[in-house]
Homo-oligomer: A and B are copies of this chain.
């Protein structure tokens, strides 16, 4: 399964809801650099809304596919820390993911083609429950597995410890049902899955399902036609950089001004 030189690039990315004010992220980095000196640590985001697993999963899935082979992605949005939820590590054909088994890793694995959508079943990848405490900090605190389990495990993976050494194999991850996406009659129905920093509302409607000249309904608003840039009009629908339908406002915050939120339905019809 391993087709890349493990450890060649030595990159660990971090995606958490720890915020940037406290010492938590710094402590994780110190642990990593102690075990694996020279590792390049890349922050993806630490301002995932507290305990919002879906938002963290979305952010990770939007960045992880762009990293080079061998990268280890650590994600910690972990409201269940210290409970029975599993700690896991996954190896795909090009990278590793480490975090709690609470759905956080699923969209990134799906984006990498390593998970059957919605089922949690791995596809050309393998996973372990992290049970070998020789690879943890000692003692393990009940509340900070980021520092005591996930950071040290990631550092050991960078140092080429084989996945199988880290725990017992598991076949299936805990993944939530995917957001609703249906086709029927003259319409495709999806939902808003993320609102970004600019207030752009991003849906789960992929470019391939959109008609050539669509009418987009979101909240109380109807938008005619697809734009090619954010400056094509005051309110625009367009295919964003991840390949999905977005609704955006030129010089404004579409989510705030239209009252749109994650989970709201978006309907696309053909105008012809």
| A residues neighboring B (CB under 8 Å) | 8-9, 11, 13, 15, 18-27, 29-31, 33-34, 37-38, 40-48, 50-51, 58-68, 71, 79-83, 141-144, 147-148, 196-198, 228-231, 238-241, 246, 250-251
In the bound complex, residues from chain B placing their C-beta under 8 Å from that of A50 are 197-198
- How far in angstroms is the closest Cβ of chain B from A195? 10
Q: Given A42-B41, A79-B231, A196-B22 in contact, is the A63-B11 Cβ separation under 8 Å?
A: no
This chain: copies in complex: 3
Of B8, B141, B197, the contact of A240 (CB 8 Å cutoff): B141
- How far in angstroms is the closest Cβ of chain B from A225? 14
Of B142, B196, B239, the contact of A228 (CB 8 Å cutoff): B142
Is A68's CB under 8 angstroms from B143's CB? Answer: no
Of B37, B51, B58, B61, the contact of A9 (CB 8 Å cutoff): B37
Is A27's CB under 8 angstroms from B62's CB? Answer: yes
Of B43, B45, B64, B230, the contact of A79 (CB 8 Å cutoff): B230
**A82 — nearest CB in chain B belongs to which residue?**
B229
Is B198's CB under 8 angstroms from A63's CB? Answer: no
Is B22's CB under 8 angstroms from A197's CB? Answer: yes
- C-alpha gap A238/B83 in the complex (Å): 14
